[in-house]
């Protein structure tokens, strides 16, 4: 299996621009997670989906952030408009259901820089 | 609520030294415990896990024992290598339908030749 795929790996944009991050989970995994990692706040869960349905978006920082999962093999995280404080590494992870305890498989991350 | 506390880093060791990274947790139930590792430029990957009290998780020479009485899950390795340099995250999660994992803040390990 190719693992979790994220694109782009690096994104540099100017404040006010729209940013779209993409994720392809591992085939057959029912859960998809979006995390943000910064030096100041560590690893934060933003939102997660089960069978393409958002289950918990309490970690989404504000209305500028939105996430979708139109099908089992694709998810997007959008920031509009972007701000310098959104600069971070954004990780997508997926995991299977059925057995416990669950292991999350992380993608390589997208490093976002907003200038 | 649930939380995970890790020792502050960075931890700097010479090659072949003994490693301990402390982790304690606060939980409302009976979670499973994990150690994840993040190598430079990569995402996190599961290193080891333990599902109940007194279980020992092990992988790649690393070990951690689930201690319910001290609410701890300390990571140990007898002889570290330069290739072990990474950030280590302690985490907890519950079995069942709720998939959320609670991560600690991470501890950076630097191993010097």
Q: Please write the tens of the pLDDT for every residue from A19-77.
A: 999 999 999 999 999 999 998 888 899 999 999 999 999 999 889 999 999 999 999 99
The mean per-residue pLDDT over the stretch A79-86 comes to: 96
Q: Evaluate if residue B70 carries a pLDDT over 90.
A: yes
SS3 string, chain B, reads: CCEEEECCCCEEEECCCCEEECEEEECCCCCEEEEEEECCCCCEEEEEEECCCCCEEEECCEEEECECCCCECCEEECCCCHHHCEEEEEEEECCCCCCCCEECCCEEEEEEC
Predicted local distance difference test score (pLDDT) of residue B45: 93
Q: Evaluate if residue A98 carries a pLDDT over 70.
A: no
Angle subtended at Cα B86 by Cα A9 and Cα B84, rounded to the nearest 5 degrees: 130
Q: Which residue of A has its CA nearest to B98?
A: A55
Mean of all residue pLDDT scores within chain B: 92
Residues of A with Cβ-Cβ distance to B100 under 8 angstroms: 45, 48, 56
Angle subtended at Cα A49 by Cα A1 and Cα A86, rounded to the nearest 5 degrees: 95
Q: Evaluate if residue B65 carries a pLDDT over 70.
A: yes
Contacts of B23 (CB under 8 A, 6+ apart): B4, B5, B6, B7, B33, B35, B64, B72, B73, B74, B75, B90, B104
Out of A42, A43, A48, the one facing B99 most closely (by C-beta) is A48
Rounded Cα distance, A32 and A90, in Å: 13
Token pair for residue A107?
Answer: 């993608």
Rounded Cα distance, B75 and A11, in Å: 35
| Under 8 Å between Cβ of A24 and A108 | no
Q: How many helices (H) and strands (E) does chain A have?
A: 0, 11
Predicted local distance difference test score (pLDDT) of residue B28: 84
Residues of A with Cβ-Cβ distance to B101 under 8 angstroms: 45, 102, 104
Mark yes or no for CB contact A109/B43 under 8 Å: yes
């Amino acid at each position: 299996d190719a693992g979790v795929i994220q694109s782009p790996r690096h994104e540099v944009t100017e404040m006010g621009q729209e940013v779209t991050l993409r994720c392809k989970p591992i085939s057959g995994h029912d859960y998809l997670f979006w995390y943000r990692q910064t030096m100041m706040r560590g690893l934060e869960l933003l939102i997660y989906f089960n069978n393409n349905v958002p289950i918990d978006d309490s970690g989404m920082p504000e209305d500028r952030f939105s996430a979708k999962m139109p099908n089992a093999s694709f998810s997007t995280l959008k920031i509009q408009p972007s701000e310098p404080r959104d600069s971070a590494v954004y990780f997508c992870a997926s995991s299977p259901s059925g057995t416990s305890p669950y292991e999350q498989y992380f993608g390589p991350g997208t490093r976002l820089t907003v200038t | 609520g649930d939380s995970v506390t890790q020792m502050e880093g960075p931890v700097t060791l010479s090659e072949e030294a003994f490693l301990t990274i402390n982790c304690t947790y606060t939980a409302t139930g009976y979670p499973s415990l994990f150690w994840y590792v993040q190598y430079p430029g990569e995402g996190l990957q599961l290193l080891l896990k333990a599902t109940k009290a007194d279980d020992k998780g092990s992988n790649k020479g690393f070990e951690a024992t689930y201690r319910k009485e001290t609410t701890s899950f300390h990571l140990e390795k007898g002889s570290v290598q330069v290739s072990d340099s990474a950030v280590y995250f302690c985490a907890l999660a519950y079995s069942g339908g709720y998939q959320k994992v609670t991560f600690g803040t991470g501890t950076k390990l630097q191993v010097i030749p």
